[in-house]
Amino acid sequence: MSYRENLKQWVLDAIDAHGGATSLMTIAKHIWDNHEKDLRSYGERFYTWQYDMRWAAQYLRNNGILESADKVSRGIWQRRGAS
């Protein structure tokens, strides 16, 4: 999978691992704890992965996979339909 496809999946994996909704910080920690080696292997993208993670979340929101930011508490990323 491509870098961006991996990030989208890792965001979803992190959210799912925390019951369908969790904070940005928890997602970043989950991705780092589980994919540090992968992140380091992406060269210069290593320095932008947290920004790119936010891009992935926006993509997932735009495609109906995550709840819109205005429907959840500030800083929480949630799968659509999770409560």
The CATH code of the domain that includes 40 is: 1.10.10
CB neighbours (10 Å) of residue 31?
A: 22
Rounded Cα distance, 83 and 76, in Å: 12
Is residue 64 situated within a structural domain? yes
Confidence label for 52 from pLDDT (cuts 50, 70 and 90): very high
pLDDT given for residue 55 in this prediction:
96
Confidence label for 7 from pLDDT (cuts 50, 70 and 90): very high
pLDDT given for residue 20 in this prediction:
97
Domain that holds residue 58: 3-78
Q: How many domains does the chain have?
A: 1
pLDDT given for residue 81 in this prediction:
86
By three-state DSSP, how is residue 47 classified? Answer: helix
Buried b (16+ CB within 10 A) or exposed e, 49-81: beebbeebbeebbeeebbbeeeeeeeebbbbee
